[in-house]
Amino acid sequence: MDTPFAITLGVGTSRANHTGSWRVERPVYVDRLPPCNNACPAGENIQGWLYEAESGNYEAAWRKLVEENPLPSIMGRVCFHPCETACNRVQVDEAVGINAVERFLGDLAIEKGWQLPDPGPDTSKRILVVGAGPAGLSATYHLRLLGHQVRLVDSAERLGGMMRYGIPAYRLPRAILDAEIDRVIAMGVDVALNHVVHDIEEERSAGGFDAVFLAVGAQLGKRVNIPAGDSSKIVDAVSFLHQVAHDDPPLLGRRVVVYGGGDTAFDAARTARRLGATDAVIVYRRNRERMGASGEEFEQALGEGVTVRWLSTVNKFEGDHIVLEKMQLNDEGFPESTGEFEELDADSLVLALGQDTDLSLLDHAQDVTVEDGAVSVETSMMAGASGIFAGGDAVPADRTATVAVGHGKRAAHGIDDYVMGRAPDVKQRHELATFERLNTWYYADAPRTKRPELEKIRRQTNFEEVVGGLTEDNALFEARRCLSCGNCFECDNCFGVCPDNAVIKLGTGERYEFDYDFCKGCGICVKECPCGAIEMVPERI
């Protein structure tokens, strides 16, 4: 070999030296389950659609969103967003306004006329969906995606269920509701309205359906026996809201008392204010901490002049006043009588004490168990082995639109497995992406964007929407507050911080790869990964 003077060896690269052999632990890329996705009752891939929205690719974001939930504009208004409660960003500043971005995407889709995906190839299986509320519509959508034929029946005049007849228009404008429902129906659905199903087995065999999804909701307001004079006006909240939705509101007078502490109670009180009540008083037997209604709705109601009598029950209703009994909470947090009474002027009393389900259509069904007024179901949402599935308010679960949407999706997949004769596919869930796994140093400081609220005074008297939407700027900003917990968002940190150049960048959308020939296992990439998408595992020797 020809080498210069005093040089005996040719110069070579250090790459011959495989320093990876020093390693006792190796880094590996992982995907973890973001807490928002984990908390979403509709099973949305929130982190996934926020990722698209962050780059301003709103259509891709919306398409990702409707893979799971066909009603984003509605959800962006009525969902109680457990995703935001679970959001890791809470521990940095404030939760990401996921709900607001969802609404922005949903509204944009309506404005731009984006359509849902085409139905899947026809399987010639026929499914009967009873009830066109959120559960029924969600099931219909997913069943159509899977290629099944759907007949959707509802006893009401119009589609939407409780979203139309229970949720007041100031929370959910009807144009939005119609637009999102129409989009599902446009996938090709055989719809029958004003159609009451009396016997599910009869209906099923008459139509030759392969499976049935029951999403009949809980339409019956619970009554309690309250001693009352002849002239005392008592209505239940469900009927009251239903009548308002029908443009036929009952006359409740100027002083309205609502009995109950759930969202429906607040909907009723706020609606009463809009119909001209000067006093809308909620009477609730427990305290604020134990109230069922969402904090947001509570704050908005107070802002509109609704007042609350905590720790009180309605004893009797005589003429123009109600007698309340004061309560106190015992050690277990249950309200107990105190024997103290007080009077409250009232023209009418609205009962918002919960709802019951009318399940008489199941009287002749085989193998279906009804317990405490709800249908027992398996994880696939099947009620017994007979191809009858159920979801929404008719099964034991939280009674919210989002839970119903999740039921609809799960039932659709359960029905698909059932009619196609497949064993259910058990999906492995990723490990949860907890806050401790994040390196929050890297995230820019950014406070949350608040949706503008209509001036209080304006919303007391009309049914205009109370909570406004985000502008594009705000929505983009809000989406970019996402920490992308547990899922690589290609920030290049691992690629940059490796002292041994042992991370290979594969290019946009392709993420990275470790070069284990040279990785010494120092673990800096793990420590400096903002979103916790790398972990160290012991090296197998």
Interface residue list for another protein (CB under 8 A): 7, 9-19, 22, 54-55, 441-446, 477, 480-484, 489-493, 495-502, 505, 507-508, 515, 517-518, 520-524, 526-528, 530
| Closest CB 473 distance from another protein, rounded Å | 10
Residue 234 or 446: the one with the smaller Cβ distance to another protein is 446
Residue type at position 18: H
| Closest CB 315 distance from another protein, rounded Å | 47
| Closest CB 71 distance from another protein, rounded Å | 27
| Closest CB 479 distance from another protein, rounded Å | 9
Burial 224-262 (b: 16+ CB within 10 A, else e): eebebeeebbbbbbbbbbbebbeeebeebbebbbbbbbb
Residue 248 or 445: the one with the smaller Cβ distance to another protein is 445
| Closest CB 300 distance from another protein, rounded Å | 24
Residue 67 or 528: the one with the smaller Cβ distance to another protein is 528
| Closest CB 105 distance from another protein, rounded Å | 18
* Cα dihedral sign, 173-179-185-191: positive
Q: Pull the structure tokens for residue 424.
A: 């259910």
* Cα dihedral sign, 524-529-530-532: negative
Residue 97 or 134: the one with the smaller Cβ distance to another protein is 97
Q: How many CB atoms neighbour CB 80 within 10 A?
A: 20
What is 433-496 written as a DSSP string?
--GGG--GGGSPP-PPPPPPB--HHHHTSS-S-SB----HHHHHHHHTT---TTS-----HHHH
Residue 62 or 518: the one with the smaller Cβ distance to another protein is 518
| Closest CB 40 distance from another protein, rounded Å | 21
Residue 22 or 334: the one with the smaller Cβ distance to another protein is 22
Residue 68 or 478: the one with the smaller Cβ distance to another protein is 478
Question: In degrees, to the nearest 5, what angle opens at C-alpha 81 toward C-alphas 479 and 155?
Answer: 125
| Closest CB 75 distance from another protein, rounded Å | 24
In sequence order, which residues have a C-beta less than 8 Å from that of residue 473 and are 6 or more positions away? none
Residue 397 or 524: the one with the smaller Cβ distance to another protein is 524
Torsions phi, psi of 439, nearest 5? -115, 95
In this structure, are residues 42 and 142 in contact, taking their beta carbons and an 8 Å threshold?
A: no
What is residue 190's three-state secondary structure?
Answer: strand
Furthest CA-CA distance within the chain: 119
